[in-house]
Amino acid sequence: MSTPLAAPPRLIYQKPALLTSQPTHYCPGCGHGIIHRLLAEVLEDLGVAGRTILVGSVGCSVFAYDYLALDAVESPHGRAAAVATGVKRVRPDHVVFTYQGDGDLAAIGTAEIVHAAARGERITVIFVNNGIYGMTGGQMAPTTLVGQATTSSPRGRDAVTTGYPLPVTEMLSLLPGVAYAARGSVADPGAVGRTKALIRRAFDVQIEGTGFAIVEILSTCPVGWGMTPVEAMERLANEVVRTYPPGVFVDRGRGVTPAMPAPAVAARPAAAERATPAERPVTEG
Amino acid sequence: MSVMTSSATRPGSIASPPGTGGEATLPEAIPTRILMKGNEAIAEAAIAAGCDAYFGYPITPQAELLEWMARRMPDEGRVFVQAESEIAAINMALGAAAAGARVLVSSSSPGISLMAEAMSYMAGSRLPVVLVNVMRGGPGLGSIGAAQGDYFQATKGHGHGDYRVPVLAPSSIAEAIDLVGEAFLIAERYRTPVMLLADGIIGQAMEPVVPTFRSIPRTPADWTLDGADGRAPRVVRSLHLKPEDLELANDVLQATYREIEAAEVRWAGEELADAEIVLVAYGTAARVARTAVERAREAGLRAGLFRPITLWPFPSAALAERTRDARAVLSVELSAGQMVEDVRLAIEGRVPVFHHGRTGGMVPSPDEVVAAMRHAWATTSGGTR
């Protein structure tokens, strides 16, 4: 007696088409692979991949354009937010996003990210923060935690000589031009799912055209941290999030307002509107 | 000085640009001329040429160019951004050019230094961007006077790596207007950044110009970024990690530079046919040199002027040919001597080469240049004229 044929397999998940077949060069346990996949899924869900331009940066993710099937431009180190400004200003109907690490955005790129945010550029910034300079061999980053050993802080980061980790997303959330600022992590499947929603919202905000959107994603660097992939994820979940708490800091469209309101406009009027000399009061004597 | 008034009171003549001493007879139809400041004329020429986007940062002596763009670009529905720094401005230009826009950036010497990194990236990524340098005194913070101390920077490469950038050097505001259009054409034809090298006098002076601002046709491009809808993705990059791949990319750049050298050399000459002493000068220095040539001729010294218009590619072959029968060559620059090195390379020791320069924003007088010519003459022939 033959058994009845099993029902044909039902496809419930597949690699997003936007992810190329190129094997990535990322280390085992690196968060970039997860984040690339989330981006591919979000852009496909939104149906905007055909009009999306990736503005790359310098760091481990410099080859992101080999893994995501998007038009892309390389930026000099730190300049992605300025490059993206140029792209978006001349192609305002396109979806433009940067993909930057913590050295690129929070060290050499600090001026460019602050001013792009201050101008309210309608771009989306994906800020991957793993607290270390992975590509160049594991040096200290502005987001490295106090006490953390790196190749350029071999005795552990000392706050007295090197200061404290920079909370860039919190700082940017003060600016009126920022329409969305949030932080997530890839520490566990739940966190990954919540981060995907943050990324989705950050692109929605760009499409709505209400201002600058940034998602900081806490990630791992097992090789730089000197840990196994599992240990690195545990460090992310238990230690890193205490300095960099996940959450939504600004979402203007949904009433999550920043600490600093936009200033009231009381600018000096343009020349044509200023009183002519004949109208100014004439004083005697 | 109101040239239009003098034209009205002296029918039948046009006042030539200051310093030439010559006059030309009016053609049948008198073209309307307007007084324009150099910085503004360059900006308007770019707008007429079809510039889509301008990015800049205030710096003396070119702030008027940025201000003109701030007023005019929104009128024309184009993009204007005053960036937070020259670094940001040039990187915005990099992005806009990658996305297919026709882009202008302007700055002055210290700001150009900040743009050096992006110039290397744009050259390596083969991006067309026109960059205007209104040179001022240096080094460092320097002065705000006219200078030509950025010749090395412009022609030998501001940033790292094996690349060249075409450099166009106008000598008058009318020529600057014309060269803006040429700059866009060269940038797009060869996919390269192009520099328009002016100085504080050209930027700040006001001269009568016939306001014929040309519209410049677009060069079709199959490499720009506009979303990979229905086609393979495009990547604008300069990173080629494998040495074999980077060498291939460099070969493409070098082949392009050979094409530019063969086709885009520009120069002008005056009274070279029988010249015994040839002055070589560009930009504002060329205007002083022109007057010095006239005064020398009046005094019986057969002088001529060779004026490079492209500083890269440098008109080496033409200079060598035009100085073959000269007794001496005198390079006149607003610098301690930068172009003179290319002059010497071109002449290859056949004729003695001298240099007269001023730094700091100082401009030599024509008589000073004549004295330098006499010195060169005396040194080479043993006599005095």
- Say if CB A111 and CB A168 are below 8 A apart: no
Confidence check: pLDDT of A20 > 70: yes
Mean pLDDT, residues A81-100: 98
Give pLDDT, residue B28: 53
Q: How far, in Å, CA of A259 to CA of A266, rounded? A: 21
CB burial of residue A172 (10 Å; 0-12, 13-18, 19+) = buried
Confidence check: pLDDT of A61 > 60: yes
Beta carbons of B228 and A55 less than 8 Å apart: no
Mean pLDDT, residues B27-45: 84
Give pLDDT, residue B17: 47
The least confident of A149-153, B14-18, B325-329 is B14-18
Q: How far, in Å, CA of A200 to CA of A34, rounded? A: 15
Q: How far, in Å, CA of B208 to CA of A182, rounded? A: 57
> CA dihedral in degrees (A118, A120, A124, A130; nearest 10)?
10
- Say if CB B317 and CB B311 are below 8 A apart: no
Q: How far, in Å, CA of B96 to CA of A92, rounded? A: 11
- Chain B's closest residue to A88, CA to CA, is B96
- Tell how far CA A273 is from the center of its chain: 42
- Say if CB A186 and CB A195 are below 8 A apart: yes
Using the structure block, give the residue that is written with the tokens 């600022």: A181
Confidence check: pLDDT of B83 > 50: yes
Across the A:B interface, residue pairs with CB atoms under 8 Å apart total 134
Q: How far is CA B9 from CA A157, B6, B22, B207, in A?
A: 79, 5, 17, 18
Distance from CA of B217 to the nearest CA of A (A): 19
Give pLDDT, residue A93: 97
Residues of B in contact with A113 (CB under 8 A): none
Percent above pLDDT 90 for chain B: 86
Confidence check: pLDDT of A90 > 80: yes
Residues of A in contact with B89 (CB under 8 A): 82
- Chain B's closest residue to A58, CA to CA, is B239
- Say if CB B180 and CB B174 are below 8 A apart: no
- Mutation choice for A interface testing from B226, B229, B239 by most A CBs within 10 A: B226
Give pLDDT, residue B329: 98
Q: Is B320 in CB contact (< 8 Å) with chain A?
A: no
Q: Is A50 in CB contact (< 8 Å) with chain B?
A: yes
Q: Is A86 in CB contact (< 8 Å) with chain B?
A: yes
Confidence check: pLDDT of B109 > 50: yes
In this prediction, residue B87 has a pLDDT band, given cuts at 50, 70 and 90, of very high
B256-288 tens-digit pLDDT:
999 999 999 999 999 999 999 999 999 999 999
Q: Calculate the average pLDDT of chain A.
A: 92
Closest CB from A70, A76, A82 relative to B83: A82
Mean pLDDT, residues B109-135: 98
More confident position, B209 or A159: A159
Task: Note the residue count of chain A.
Answer: 285
Backbone angles phi, psi at B291, to 5 degrees: -65, -40
Beta carbons of B118 and A76 less than 8 Å apart: yes
Give pLDDT, residue B102: 98
Confidence check: pLDDT of A4 > 70: no
Residues of B in contact with A89 (CB under 8 A): 53, 79, 81, 92, 96
Beta carbons of A65 and B237 less than 8 Å apart: yes
Closest CB from A69, A85, A90 relative to B101: A90
Residues of A in contact with B193 (CB under 8 A): none
Closest CB from A51, A53, A85 relative to B92: A85
According to DSSP H, which parts of chain A are helical? 32-46, 64-67, 80-90, 102-106, 110-118, 159-162, 168-172, 189-208, 222-225, 229-235, 241-243
Q: Is B189 in CB contact (< 8 Å) with chain A?
A: no
In this prediction, residue B14 has a pLDDT band, given cuts at 50, 70 and 90, of very low
Residues of B in contact with A44 (CB under 8 A): none
Distance from CA of B91 to the nearest CA of A (A): 5
Using the structure block, give the residue that is written with the tokens 């004597």: A285
Confidence check: pLDDT of B7 > 50: no
Q: Is A44 in CB contact (< 8 Å) with chain B?
A: no
Q: Is B98 in CB contact (< 8 Å) with chain A?
A: yes
Beta-carbon neighbour count of residue B7 at 10 Å? 17
Q: How far, in Å, CA of A74 to CA of A83, rounded? A: 9
Residues of B in contact with A53 (CB under 8 A): 99, 225-227
In this prediction, residue A6 has a pLDDT band, given cuts at 50, 70 and 90, of confident
- Mutation choice for A interface testing from B81, B92, B246 by most A CBs within 10 A: B92
Residues of A in contact with B53 (CB under 8 A): 86, 89-90
Q: For residue A153, what are the β-bridge partners? A: A150
Residues of A in contact with B57 (CB under 8 A): none
In this prediction, residue B381 has a pLDDT band, given cuts at 50, 70 and 90, of confident
Mean pLDDT, residues A184-212: 97
Confidence check: pLDDT of B16 > 70: no
Beta carbons of A86 and B92 less than 8 Å apart: yes
- Mutation choice for A interface testing from B91, B117, B241 by most A CBs within 10 A: B91
Beta pairing, strands A247-251 & A178-185: antiparallel
Give pLDDT, residue B31: 73
Backbone angles phi, psi at A27, to 5 degrees: -70, 155
In this prediction, residue B150 has a pLDDT band, given cuts at 50, 70 and 90, of very high
Distance from CA of B215 to the nearest CA of A (A): 20
Confidence check: pLDDT of B8 > 50: no
3-state secondary structure of B134: strand
Q: Calculate the average pLDDT of chain B.
A: 92
Confidence check: pLDDT of B21 > 90: no
Give pLDDT, residue B157: 77
Q: How far, in Å, CA of B160 to CA of B329, rounded? A: 32
CA proximity to B155, closest of B163, B167, B146:
B167
CA proximity to B121, closest of B87, B150, B155:
B87
Beta carbons of A76 and B100 less than 8 Å apart: no
3-state secondary structure of B294: helix
Q: How far, in Å, CA of A60 to CA of A173, rounded? A: 26
Between CA B298 and CA B302, with CA B299 as vertex, the angle to 5 degrees is: 80
A248-258 tens-digit pLDDT:
999 999 989 87
Beta carbons of B227 and A94 less than 8 Å apart: yes
- Say if CB B87 and CB A79 are below 8 A apart: yes
- Chain B's closest residue to A112, CA to CA, is B88
Give pLDDT, residue B155: 98
Beta carbons of A79 and B236 less than 8 Å apart: no
Beta carbons of A79 and B87 less than 8 Å apart: yes
Confidence check: pLDDT of A139 > 50: yes
Give pLDDT, residue A119: 97
Mean pLDDT, residues B229-237: 97
Query: Considering only residues 104 to 123 of chain A, which have any Cβ-Cβ distance to chain B shorter than 8 Å?
Result: 111-112, 114-115, 119
Confidence check: pLDDT of B26 > 70: no
Beta-carbon neighbour count of residue A239 at 10 Å? 13
CA atoms within 13 A on the CB side of B349: 0
* Tokens linked to B32: 């309307």
Distance from CA of B122 to the nearest CA of A (A): 10
Distance from CA of A179 to the nearest CA of B (A): 20
Task: Please tell me what DSSP assigns to residue B146.
Answer: B
Beta carbons of A73 and B88 less than 8 Å apart: no
Q: What is the pTM of this model?
A: 0.90
